[in-house]
Chains A and B, each alone.
Chain A
């Protein structure tokens, strides 16, 4: 039995190897204006929001749920933060930015709570419960922005998604903190076991004394918060809020990242590190497609093909089928020769 990270890491390495062969400058990292500069840094920076959303999604999926509303939450929090800052007199004031961030994150928690309430409180199927916010969320984001793209001129807000700390993009540190917190909470306390147990069998968990509903609500809360932070990073990266396009299809990329990372959609087991690798695979693939200049008409086909291959390789039974086919070839003529030999 191989380590659960074996295949995700191998696939990421293969993608990077392809880039190395195609153009070695992919790996060159220079220092420019006091910060590291190169394709790899870009992947980390642009991949940060996806990693965050996927981390939250992992815990929700571990409870046998799913959250389709993360893309909309990304749009709403970005819109909320930018709207708050644009209304202020001094856009650059630290207090205003802090208030905007707190308000946006508070709103994302509220939205997460709404999802958790629908799923755990009322008992709606997760895919439908979160679909409500997925559909309504873009409308809410546009209500906040009045359908306009809000452009900011705030250096302090821009720092969240485009600033750098110790020569690395600041967003990476946010991901590191959230990832660290998630790992500590789930692997150093009993919460992780509770989540897995609820994902396996909610009723049995409840009978065993676990508050299944609270655990589920907590998972959706966390997922909402992660999406909220991702929304801040995305909108701050381009210093503008776009209610319509921010975080569009993020939920699908996030679910894909979780699955590539080895977490089962049936719930009951999850791998946070695998998820992060999965998100990196997706972002590397996107960047690769831009670099090798695939024509835009077939970009999605290329992406889909790679994802298909990745998923097939990930699948245990598919690998076994290939291997057993390879070992037991059924060509009558061949059997004949071996018998007579």
Chain B
């Protein structure tokens, strides 16, 4: 009996070791292997001073890999960190704030030079950001903002202006329906409840379309930025509201799911229901070039190079702007058809 138990314990321990090994293998650039020789224990303490010629260590906590957009974002950051010769400690939060806070605390303990992260949600960051500030580690926000009133907690925020994206989507719609005599029924697929892109894309859109009282949002529900939910929610929308004219989806993936639901209902996406979407990932562009999405507001994920510039500036002690906006465009289906071969993500 005892022998069996001991064997079991050993097996569990082995399993745990295997899993943890797999995890650390996953994070890509790990310090001991890529620190350019030298005892790893002493090198970690040295990094805090960041002497001349020493590799800059960047801790980056990503939201997750919930969409093609995010994957392109991750890829861009990993590639440009490699190019810049930084030591990147990458951590995936799998859409959970507690994972992200844990990752940031780990970065603080490891005494990285700069911490960058895309917050999963807007609120609840003050404590952990203050810990980073007390440890003297500068923080850069990418892609998503935090609602903290104390702006000294982070150096800069690099990313898209989500409110502006919502406004652009709204502006196009208002332009399309400026001569409308009847009510235009709009349904909205929101992103993850409470996330900055969902809140801002909604408020920017609402702000613009309120100029025309004929434009009415008749249903709005979260689709969690995923295809499966987008399809499920759109299917329910179609049953509950027989007369939908416009779909506004907060990202391409939800729009792609909704397109399947619209087709299943025997309607033509892009014609019977006008579809507006945000992001501009590859699959979205393909759908747009087929005329299934009428208008895409781009949200550029390739902000790796801009992030690395900011990291360098922060390490060098230069003043940088509190808000760096990424360059982005808008595309109708004709534009999409033309642009499709040039898309990188």
- Contact residues in B for A123 (Cβ distance below 8 Å): 8
Complex Cα–Cα for A193 and B194 (A): 48
- Contact residues in A for B65 (Cβ distance below 8 Å): 142, 147-148, 243-244
Cβ-defined partner of B260 (8 Å) among A147, A238, A246:
A238
- Contact residues in B for A291 (Cβ distance below 8 Å): 236, 239-240
Write the nearest CB–CB distance from A317 to chain B, whole angstroms: 36
Write the A138-152 contact mask toward B (1 if CB under 8 angstroms, else 0): 110011000111010
Question: Which of B29-37, B104-112, B226-234 contacts the other chain?
Answer: B226-234
Q: Is the beta-carbon distance between B228 and A234 smaller than 8 angstroms?
A: yes
CB within 8 Å of A: which B47-86 residues: 64-68, 71, 74
The interface size of chain A toward B, counting residues with CB under 8 Å, comes to: 44
Query: Known contacts A23-B240, A245-B66: does B257 contact A238 (CB below 8 Å)?
Result: yes
**Which residue, of A32, A132, A290, has the highest number of chain B Cβ atoms within 10 A?**
A290
Q: Is the beta-carbon distance between B227 and A242 smaller than 8 angstroms?
A: yes
- Contact residues in A for B220 (Cβ distance below 8 Å): 293, 295-296
Q: Is the beta-carbon distance between A242 and B232 smaller than 8 angstroms?
A: no
Any A CB within 8 A of the CB of B332? no
Write the A272-289 contact mask toward B (1 if CB under 8 angstroms, else 0): 000000000000001100
Write the B234-247 contact mask toward A (1 if CB under 8 angstroms, else 0): 01110110100000
Q: Is the beta-carbon distance between B228 and A237 smaller than 8 angstroms?
A: yes
Q: Is the beta-carbon distance between A39 and B66 smaller than 8 angstroms?
A: no
Any A CB within 8 A of the CB of B87? no
Nearest B residue to A35 by beta-carbon distance? B264
Any B CB within 8 A of the CB of A185? no
- Contact residues in B for A290 (Cβ distance below 8 Å): 221, 232-233, 236-237, 240
Q: Is the beta-carbon distance between A244 and B94 smaller than 8 angstroms?
A: yes
CB within 8 Å of B: which A114-151 residues: 122-124, 132, 136, 138-139, 142-143, 147-149, 151
Chain B contact residues, majority secondary structure: helix
Any A CB within 8 A of the CB of B279? no
Write the nearest CB–CB distance from A293 to chain B, whole angstroms: 5
Query: Known contacts A32-B266, A42-B236: does B12 contact A296 (CB below 8 Å)?
Result: no
Q: Is the beta-carbon distance between A242 and B231 smaller than 8 angstroms?
A: no
The interface size of chain B toward A, counting residues with CB under 8 Å, comes to: 45
CB within 8 Å of A: which B319-339 residues: none
Write the A40-51 contact mask toward B (1 if CB under 8 angstroms, else 0): 001000100000
Cβ-defined partner of A293 (8 Å) among B22, B221, B226, B253:
B221
- Contact residues in A for B233 (Cβ distance below 8 Å): 290
- Contact residues in B for A234 (Cβ distance below 8 Å): 228
Any A CB within 8 A of the CB of B219? yes
Query: Known contacts A242-B226, A245-B224: does B239 contact A25 (CB below 8 Å)?
Result: yes
CB within 8 Å of B: which A231-273 residues: 234, 237-240, 242-246
Any A CB within 8 A of the CB of B177? no
Write the B191-210 contact mask toward A (1 if CB under 8 angstroms, else 0): 00110000000000000000
Q: Is the beta-carbon distance between A33 and B66 smaller than 8 angstroms?
A: no
Cβ-defined partner of B12 (8 Å) among A38, A124, A239, A297:
A124
Complex Cα–Cα for A69 and B221 (A): 29
Any A CB within 8 A of the CB of B180? no
Cβ-defined partner of A299 (8 Å) among B26, B222, B260:
B222
Complex Cα–Cα for A25 and B265 (A): 15
Any B CB within 8 A of the CB of A170? no
Q: Is the beta-carbon distance between A296 and B222 smaller than 8 angstroms?
A: yes
Complex Cα–Cα for A90 and B29 (A): 37
Write the nearest CB–CB distance from A341 to chain B, whole angstroms: 55
Complex Cα–Cα for A148 and B283 (A): 12
Any A CB within 8 A of the CB of B15? yes
Q: Is the beta-carbon distance between A39 and B239 smaller than 8 angstroms?
A: yes
- Contact residues in A for B193 (Cβ distance below 8 Å): 296-297, 299
- Contact residues in B for A7 (Cβ distance below 8 Å): none
Nearest B residue to A140 by beta-carbon distance? B22
Any A CB within 8 A of the CB of B156? no
Any B CB within 8 A of the CB of A37? yes
Write the nearest CB–CB distance from A337 to chain B, whole angstroms: 52
Write the nearest CB–CB distance from A299 to chain B, whole angstroms: 7
Any B CB within 8 A of the CB of A179? no
Nearest A residue to B236 by beta-carbon distance? A290
Write the nearest CB–CB distance from B188 to chain A, whole angstroms: 10
Nearest B residue to A26 by beta-carbon distance? B239
Q: Which 10 A-B pairs have the closest CB atoms?
A: A290-B236, A296-B222, A147-B65, A122-B8, A291-B240, A238-B227, A39-B239, A32-B266, A296-B193, A245-B226
Complex A-B: 21 CB contacts under 8 Å: A25-B239, A32-B266, A38-B239, A42-B232, A46-B235, A132-B19, A148-B68, A234-B228, A237-B231, A238-B228, A242-B66, A242-B226, A242-B228, A244-B95, A245-B224, A245-B226, A286-B232, A287-B236, A290-B232, A291-B240, A293-B219
Q: Name A residues whose Cβ lies closer than 8 Å to a Cβ of B.
A: 23, 25-26, 32-33, 37-39, 42, 46, 122-124, 132, 136, 138-139, 142-143, 147-149, 151, 162, 234, 237-240, 242-246, 286-287, 290-293, 295-297, 299
Contacts A149-B227, A245-B66, A291-B236 known; list 11 others, CB within 8 Å. Answer: A25-B240, A39-B236, A39-B239, A42-B235, A149-B253, A149-B283, A162-B260, A234-B228, A244-B65, A293-B221, A299-B222
